Structure 1
Amino acid sequence: MAGIKDVAAKAGVSISTVSYVVSGKRKIGDQTRGRVRAAALELGYRPVIDATTPVGSTHVLAVSSPLRPYTDASNYAAFFLALASASKRHGYDILLLMHEAGDQELRRVADRHMADGVFLLDVLLSDSRADMAGAIDIPVVSIGYTNDTANVYTVDMDFAGMGREAMDKAHVLGHRHVMLYCPDRRAFLDGSNFLVRFLDAAMQRGEELGMTVMRKFASGRSADDVNLAVDEAFAVDPRITAIICEENAAQMGLLMNALSRRGLRVPQDVSVMAACANGSTARLADEMPMNPAAVCERAVDIMVEVLRGERRDVGYVELLPGEYCARGTMRARR
C-alpha cells in the first residue's frame, strides 16, 4: 500500500509538502497541489484524495445518456467508458442515467444531492436537459453542442468543420457526385447534434463547390437494407464516385459488400470514407473519427475545475478539431 513517501516521490515534492496538503496548515500553490493530488489518485492514497476533494462532495458524477431507439451501442459504450476512466483518475465514481426524460432525472439527482455534477451525452440540438441545467445548483458539462449553451459548459468535436473537410477532400480528388450515407432518419429528425451538424455542413460545402450530393438514410441495419440503399442511390445518380458513410464498423462492412455485389471496387471504382464513428472503422476505410477519449478527458477536466472553484464561465464552448486518417480507400478520380 502506498504511503506519504511514495506520493511525495511521484509528485516530485517533499514529504512535508504532502503533509501540508493534507493538513491545510500551510497554503500550497495550486500547481503543486494539483501534482500531489494527481500522484495520490494514481497511487490510491486516501488522505490526500479526501483533503483535496471539495467539502460536501459525493465523489459521484452523473452521466445523462438516454437510450433511444436508434442509439449506436458502439458509440454509447466508447463515450461512457471514456468518461468513467477519466472520472476515476480524479477520484470520482459514475452514476448512469438512461431515461429519455433526462431533464427530470437531472432535477432528481440535484435535489437529492446524488452527484456533484452532470455530464450530458447523446445531445440533441434542442435539448431539454440543457434548459434544466439553468434550474439546478450543480454544474452540467455537455458533451455535445446544443443550440442553447447558456446554462452548460460544452465540449464536442467540430462536426461542422469535419463535414466541410470531408467534402473538400472528395473535391480535391476530383469527385463531383457524392453520396452521404446516414444512420436512421429518426436521429436526424430528432436533431441529433453530431449527425445534423456534419450533414448540414457537408451539404452546404458540396453546394459551394458545385458538387452533386445525395443524402441517403439507412432504412434498417441488415445487409438487405444496405443493398437496397446503395441500389436506390445509384439508380438516381449512376455517376456517384465517392461515398461518405456516417456509420459504425459493422455497417461499413455491409456497405463494402453492397458495392462489391454491384461489381464496384473500392477505391478503383468508388472511393469510401467513414465519418463520425468512434474509430472502430480503422483498417476498413479512410475516416474522420470521433475521439471519445480526448473529448471526455477535456470534459472531466472542465468539470473538476468548476467543482474546485477555478472557473465560473458557464456558457463556455470548446470544439476539438477532427483528424483525417488515410486508409487507402479514397483515390483520385480518373
Structure 2
Amino acid sequence: MVEKCQGSTARLCSHVPGNSAQTTKSTQAKIAEFAGVSVSTVSYAFSGRRKIAPKTRQKVLDAAAQLGYSLPSSAYENRARKHIIAVSAPIHSYSSLNGYSAFFFETLSGIRASGSDLLLFASEADELERIARNDLADGVILLDVKRNDPRAFTAEHLSLPVVSIGVPVNVECKKVFSTDLDFKRAAEITIQHAAESGLMNILVLGDREQAYKDGSNYLFRFKKYLGRYALEFGIAVNFAYSPKKIMDIAEVLEAELTKFPETDALVINSAAEVVPIAFNYLSHRKGMKPLPMLSVGSYGNLPNQGCMIDEIPFEPHRAVSLAMRAISRQMNGDISMCGKSEMIEPRYLDRGTFKK
C-alpha cells in the first residue's frame, strides 16, 4: 500500500489507518498509468508477491516518487537483494588522504562484515539516480557531506535506503538517516578546556578556504560554535586557513603568530596530515616556549605520528557503526530511523598539551 504525502516530494510516511481498498486501487492505477505498466505490476512491485524485472520495479518506484506517494516498508523489505552497498565519496581538491582512507576502509570493513560488497562512486553528479535507476545496490552511504548537499535532496525522491555520515544541515531530510561527531559539543569542550587552563587568545588553524566555501558541514559547525562559545567565556579567537601546499603550514603559522603575538594556544581543525607539520614547527621555534595545542577532528592516532598533543578525535568506526545499523534496518523494512540524526558525543584525549 502506498499513501499520499503532503507536498510534492515523495517521502516515507507511517501507514494511515483506515485507508480503503478502493483508495489503494485508485493510487495503484495512477502509478501504473504514469509508469506505463499494469496495475498488477504496481501491486507486485510493492508487495513482492511475484518476481518482476528489477528495471520494471524501479520504474514503478520512480513513478510513485514523482507523483508524491510514499513507499511502504515492504518496498525496501521485498526488493531483490544484490548484497551490494554503494558508497558515495566525492573527491575534492582539498580532500584529505588520511581522512578519505580512514572513512573508506572503516566503511569497507563494516559493509564486508554485513555480508555485502562495496560499490564506490567518487563524484556527486546524478550518481544516486543512476544507482537507483539501474538497481545497482541495496542502499547508499554518503560520505564527505556538505551543508546543502545535493545528494540529500536527491535521496528524498528515491526508493533506495540512504544514510549519511555527516549532517546536511540545510536540507530537510525525511528519508535520510545521518550521523556525525557532535562538533557543536566539540567546540564547547574546546572552549571549556581553554577557560579552565587560563588560555584567552586562541589561534585556530582551519582547513583550506575552498572547503568552507563549498559548505563542508563539520568544518562550518565547529567554526560557528567555537566562536559562539568563545564569546560567552570572553576568549579571543583568530582564524586562519590552511594553505593549498601543506609544506607552507610553517609559513602561515609564522605570519599569524607575528600578527597576533598575544596568542597563547593553537587549535587545529584541519586535515590530519597538517598536525605533524604544525607540531614540529612549534616545537622547534628558537627562544619560544611550546604553544599549547589541541587537534579537533583527527583520528585518535597522533602519537603514532610523533605528536603527543591533546585531541578530540573523529573516530570513523563509531560513525560507520551507526550508519551500518541504520542502513541494515532500512533494507529490512524498518523505516523508524528515517529522517533522524544521531550525534556522537566527543571524547577528549588529554595528553597535557592544551594548558599553560
TM-score range, shorter chain: 0.7 to 0.9
Equivalent in 198, 210, 214 of residue 186 of structure 1: 210
Instruction: State the TM-score, normalizing by the size of structure 1.
Output: 0.79
Residue of structure 1 equivalent to 2:145: 123
| Residues 122-150 of structure 1 deviation map (CA, whole Å, 9 limit, x = unaligned) | 00001000000011110110110112233
Which whole-Å deviations, capped at 9, do the CAs of 1:266-308 have from their partners, x for residues lacking one?
xx54100111112232351110010100110110011101111
Partner of 2:293: 272
CA separation in 2, counterparts of 1:234 and 1:134?
A: 46
For 1:313 and 1:328, how far apart are their aligned partners in 2? 39
2:7 paired residue number: none
1:28 alignment counterpart = none
TM-score (norm 2): 0.74
Aligned 1:61-76 pairs, distance under 5 A: 61-76=85-100
Whether the 8 Å CA contact 1:87–1:300 is kept in 2: the answer is: yes
Aligned match of 2:267 = 244
1:227 paired residue number:
250
Per-residue deviation, 1:170: 1.1
The 1:221–1:171 alpha-carbon spacing in structure 2 relative to 1, beyond 3 Å, is farther
One-letter code of the match for 1:194?
A: Y
CA contact (8 A) 2:207 2:271 kept: no
User: 2:102 is matched with which residue: 68, 75, 78?
Assistant: 78
Give the alignment of 1:86-235 within 5 angstroms.
86-101=110-125, 104-147=126-169, 148=171, 149-223=173-247, 225-235=248-258
The answer to whether structure 1 residue 260 and structure 2 residue 273 are counterparts is no
On the 8 A contact 1:249/1:280 being kept in 2, the answer is: no
1:248–1:280 Cα contact (<8 Å) kept:
no
Cα pair distance change 1:182/1:82, threshold 3 Å: same
Q: What amino acid is aligned across from residue 186 of structure 1 in structure 2?
A: Q
Count the aligned residue pairs.
275
Separation in 1, partners of 2:154, 2:79: 25
Equivalent residues of 1:244, 1:273 under 8 A apart: yes
Q: Distance in 2 between matches of 1:126 and 1:214?
A: 26
CA distance in 2, matches of 1:279, 1:67: 23
Report the 3-state secondary structure (helix = DSSP H, G, I; strand = E; otherwise coil) of the residue aligned with 1:63: strand
Moved more, 249-258 or 284-293: 249-258
Equivalents in 1 of 2:326, 2:136: separation in Å? 20
Give the Cα–Cα distance (whole angstroms) in 2 for the partners of residues 248 and 196 of structure 1: 14
Contact 2:84 2:118 in 1 (8 A): yes
| Code of the aligned partner of 1:132 | T
Match of 1:292 in 2: 316
- 1:42 aligns with none
Cα distance in 2 between the residues matched to 1:74 and 1:264: 33
Structure 2 gaps, min length 5: 1-76
Deviation at 1:78, TM superposition (A): 0.9
Structure 1 spans left out of the alignment, 5+ residues: 1-52
Q: What is the CA–CA distance in structure 2 between the aligned matches of 1:264 and 1:193, rounded to whole Å?
A: 39
Give the residue type in structure 1 aligned to 2:225.
A
Counterparts of 1:227 and 1:316, CA distance in 2:
42
Paired AA for residue 236 in structure 1 = K
Identity of aligned residues (%): 28
Q: 1:238 Cα shift?
A: 0.4
The one-letter amino acid paired with 1:119 is I
